[in-house]
A = this chain, B = another copy of it.
């Protein structure tokens, strides 16, 4: 904290009065000190990609932000909710890798996976695939071992149960489902690792664009399930990544 120490140095040297120093520190206490403290902690995690939320930004804006980010660090840059059209525009000037299903663009290469174990991504139906891919690519980009299994909705229970080994071995599970979202409850009842549930807007009528699945997951009869926003594959992967990298208090 150069700035702070400089002030103290000046106080010590007598070149800055206590009143002036006091005023100067008081005026921006949150910022100059607090911000730095936070920032240092954040900055030290090398290799973690920067993330740009692509929806509602123009291709030009995304490109601009991406170039700034690339200049500042060696980390890959992840762009979520990126349409094919914008991706193609960006690809004219930047070496962007684009994954259409997950609507994700990546600048740079995926880091080596770290963390306690494997993140398992389960999705109930083929229509949930976009969200599952967003989660899978995000988890990879953040540096995790990832395994994804599709089409294991509870209406065909045997398909889900045939992957019981994978369920038992996962460190964290992301359970993605639309319609009535029952997958989260069934999985939560089978395993002992944390389950992050992602409701999707797949369905119609009384599904209410994912609200039914959301509420169903929140009221799950199984313990160990927490929930993120509708269609928020990125958020689930980010949370799973934090869990997979959880540290001890003194580590």
Contact = CB atoms under 8 A, between A and B. Distances in A.
Interface residues of A, number: 117
Interface in A171-230: 171-172, 179-182, 184-186, 188-190, 192-194, 196, 199, 201-230
A33 B37 contact: no
A231 interface: yes
A161 interface: yes
A29 B204 CA distance: 34
Given A35-B162, A201-B205, 10 more contacts: A8-B22, A27-B37, A30-B162, A155-B188, A157-B189, A180-B216, A180-B217, A206-B214, A207-B219, A212-B215
B158 A34 contact: yes
Interface of A: 1, 4-5, 8-9, 11-12, 14, 18, 21-22, 25-39, 41-42, 45, 51, 56-57, 116-118, 124-127, 145, 153-159, 161-162, 164-165, 168-172, 179-182, 184-186, 188-190, 192-194, 196, 199, 201-232, 234-236, 238-239, 242-244, 246-251
B218 A215 contact: no
Nearest to A125: B221
Q: How many copies does the complex hold?
A: 8
A52 to B, nearest CB: 11
Contact of A12 (B11, B206, B242): B11
A165 B212 CA distance: 31
A186 B184 CA distance: 12
A237 to B, nearest CB: 10
A103 B213 CA distance: 26
A124 B216 CA distance: 14
Contact of A39 (B14, B158, B223): B158
A171 B247 contact: yes
A236 to B, nearest CB: 8
Given A18-B9, A29-B29, A31-B158, A206 B215 contact: yes
A117 B250 contact: yes
A170 B41 CA distance: 13
